[in-house]
Structure 1
Amino acid sequence: MKVSDLLTRPGAVGEREDSTVAWHYGDPLREQRALTVGALVDRSDRDIVTVTGADRLTWLHSLTSQHLSALAPLTGTQLLVLSPNGHIESIAGVFDDGTTTWLDTEPGAGAALVDFLTKMRFFTEVDIATVTDDWAMLYVSGDTTLAEPDILPVPPAKFATGTLPPRPTVQYAGETLPDGGFARRVDTLGQPGVDLLVPRSDVASFADKRGLPLSGTWAYDTLRIPALVPAQGVDVDHRTIPQESPWLLARAVHLDKGCYRGQETVARVHNLGRPPRTFAMLHLDGTEEHPPAPGTDIKAGARTVGQVGTAARHYEDGMIALTILKRAIAENPEAQLTINDSAAAL
């Protein structure tokens, strides 16, 4: 993937030598504060996939967790691809412009999604393409031009069939942009924001036209933590089911849409019990200078009760981490937890 032009801006630093977007621009804490008001984040490392053809929405509806057959043009939503046992395999943002359904995923996750979709094509009139080389995603915080997200309430266990409207569980208002691509209202950081898909060659000029301060992906990911928004590949492991993430359940899973791969597990957990784990935010005591690495064990005494996901230093709350914990631990505010040499509190 081509290195973003915004990574060449003064002060820009990549997280790794092979990074294609800026991790920060010299002051991550200031960039977090800016992002709570109005700033632009270069997320052009996300994988972009298109699905075209007359059957695209009904076909995606049959394969994924979201109700897509009635997705209106210029509307966005979220979807999950689940394993036969209900574990999350892919998380994707969605936008349909009337002729093309755009899917965006975490960096490196697009290949698995395309592979799954391609294997499920059979005789359906759809075409699938990876267009990451031509299109890039940006995020702008504080933009309230588009209408607020329309989110359906999660129904109680054993709800009556037909209770949920036959529509996506979250509907993000959107519009097409003059030079192609789209704007999609989102609530990814627990605040107003807009995802923008623009031609990759126009990323720098588009950012300049907006005239907003730049924030890196470090700031963006830090603000995901208190919003309890998991990222595929960091926070979601091979055992994660939708109910373990209340954020994803409310936005990406329609509980009354009929059969799809993994649906039996989703329905059984929703109607007969609670998930064994749940996402939570931890405060660390600051003993260690750097955040713990993803995958670091979280212990209650000598017992491992979870692993660290995204972890960072928040501009107000100090060192925090997103984790998926055993439910009994996550529901106990007095739990005594440790991560390496640091004490951690829910």
Structure 2
Amino acid sequence: MKSPLLSLPGAVPAEGRDEGVAAHYGDLFREQRALADGSGFVDLSHRGVIMVTGDDRLSWLHLLITQHVSELPAGRATEALVLTANGHVEHALYLVDDGTTTWIHVEPGTQGDLLAYLESMKFFYRVEAADRTEDFAVVYLPAGSIAEVPDGVAVRETPQGRDLFLPRADLESYAAAHGPAVGMLGYEALRVEAHRPRLGFETDHRTIPHELGWIGSAVHLQKGCYRGQETVARVQNLGKPPRRLVFLHLDGSEVLLPGHGTPVRLASDGEEGRQLGFVTTSARHHELGPIALALIKRNVPLDAELMVGTTAAAQEVVVEP
């Protein structure tokens, strides 16, 4: 779904998974600094929006997702996962309940599969789930923003900022009143800096929650009754996920950023060494320079100097081995 904000001056369309919104609006680092200072907004209108209503909505979702939501207070934001039967991450949900409705936003293009799964699990529960992507657009306001929220708009507030479920028809007028607009490159650079994983970027077909640090933030260890729980419990008890997420400081002399999937090796082994992992997301940060997240084997030494493609990299621990 193409955002109307791509008509703003300087807007350059994003590609790949973020197609449909702007990569930037002409000044990447200025946009990043605006977000870091608590001003501006990010157009996330390409993300999927699912709405769940009905008296049983929270108790029903509680049985299907990894988070404890059966008694979720109105207005409290949380995040959760849907796992496969083998415990691999299938969906990432960012949700809030307003007392009558549970609002969920998900990665672009994944809402159809998620809704199909939810519909297949309704049984006798008093719930209705609907894809409302055509009606609502997600807008992100950074922490510290003093931008107003229109009456009646659902808000998901976290320490990182606020997600607004804005009526899509109001997107252009809201943008005109609450600039500057910040593109996905700026938003993603701050996400990488904060070590926050993203479905489809830090995940592949065999990712489990422990590898990315989703335990606690998206997985509640004191609840059961969800698909994939056995794998979560086994890895938690054994303490040995096969891979771990790391943050990388990249050599700033390289012109090009390493793309998703670029091999990570020990620097001492050179370009022909054994692959230990791969880059998941890379970015140019307004203060840190080139940075990246990568998924590497659990037993790689914490002090090991790494090589990303042909670029030297120093690792910072995100998930303890």
Relative to the length of structure 2, the TM-score reads: 0.90
Tell me whether 1:303 sits opposite 2:304 in the alignment: no
SS in 2 for 1:112: helix
Q: Partner of 2:212 in structure 1?
A: 245
Tell me whether 1:183 sits opposite 2:155 in the alignment: yes
TM-aligned CA deviation for residue 287 of structure 1: 4.4
TM-aligned CA deviation for residue 274 of structure 1: 2.8
Unaligned runs of 5+ in 1: 147-174
Tell me whether 1:118 sits opposite 2:119 in the alignment: yes
Q: Contact (CA 8 Å) 2:76, 2:157: kept in 1 or not?
A: no
Q: Contact (CA 8 Å) 2:305, 2:313: kept in 1 or not?
A: yes
TM-aligned CA deviation for residue 137 of structure 1: 0.6
SS in 2 for 1:65: coil
TM-aligned CA deviation for residue 50 of structure 1: 1.0
TM-aligned CA deviation for residue 305 of structure 1: 0.9
TM-aligned CA deviation for residue 144 of structure 1: 6.3
Q: Mapping of 1:80-159 within 5 angstroms?
A: 80-143=81-144
Relative to the length of structure 1, the TM-score reads: 0.84
1:260 to 220, 226, 238: 226
- In the alignment, residue 45 of structure 1 is paired with which amino acid? H
Distance 1:23 1:61 in 2: 35
Q: Across the two proteins, how many residue pairs are aligned to each other?
A: 308
Distance 1:75 1:16 in 2: 33
SS in 2 for 1:325: strand
Q: Contact (CA 8 Å) 2:47, 2:138: kept in 1 or not?
A: yes
- In the alignment, residue 223 of structure 1 is paired with which amino acid? L
- In the alignment, residue 306 of structure 1 is paired with which amino acid? G
Q: Contact (CA 8 Å) 1:177, 1:183: kept in 2 or not?
A: no
SS in 2 for 1:116: helix
Q: Contact (CA 8 Å) 2:103, 2:154: kept in 1 or not?
A: no
TM-aligned CA deviation for residue 74 of structure 1: 2.3
Distance 2:126 2:143 in 1: 39
Distance 1:10 1:46 in 2: 22
Let me know the Cα RMSD of the aligned residues: 2.0
Q: Contact (CA 8 Å) 2:140, 2:163: kept in 1 or not?
A: yes
Distance 1:116 1:308 in 2: 30
Q: Partner of 1:197 in structure 2?
A: 165
Q: Contact (CA 8 Å) 1:139, 1:193: kept in 2 or not?
A: yes
Distance 2:145 2:23 in 1: 25
**More divergent stretch after superposition (117-126 vs 228-237):** 117-126
Distance 1:118 1:288 in 2: 48
Q: Contact (CA 8 Å) 1:143, 1:194: kept in 2 or not?
A: no
Distance 1:265 1:237 in 2: 16
Superposed CA deviations along residues 311-331 of structure 1, whole A, max 9, x for unmatched, are 1111111111111111222x5
Superposed CA deviations along residues 94-153 of structure 1, whole A, max 9, x for unmatched, are 11112211110111121221121122122322211111011001111133679xxxxxxx
Distance 1:176 1:83 in 2: 37
Distance 1:297 1:45 in 2: 29
Q: Partner of 1:62 in structure 2?
A: 63
Unaligned runs of 5+ in 2: 316-321
Tell me whether 1:49 sits opposite 2:19 in the alignment: no
2:293 to 312, 322, 327: 322
Q: Partner of 1:161 in structure 2?
A: none
- In the alignment, residue 142 of structure 1 is paired with which amino acid? A
SS in 1 for 2:312: strand
Identity %: 47
TM-aligned CA deviation for residue 228 of structure 1: 0.9
SS in 2 for 1:320: strand
Q: Mapping of 1:27-42 within 5 angstroms?
A: 27-37=27-37, 38-42=39-43
Superposed CA deviations along residues 148-201 of structure 1, whole A, max 9, x for unmatched, are xxxxxxxxxxxxxxxxxxxxxxxxxxx9841x33122123xxxx4111110001
- In the alignment, residue 340 of structure 1 is paired with which amino acid? G
Q: Contact (CA 8 Å) 1:287, 1:341: kept in 2 or not?
A: no
Q: Partner of 1:343 in structure 2?
A: 312
Q: Contact (CA 8 Å) 1:337, 1:344: kept in 2 or not?
A: yes
TM-aligned CA deviation for residue 262 of structure 1: 0.9
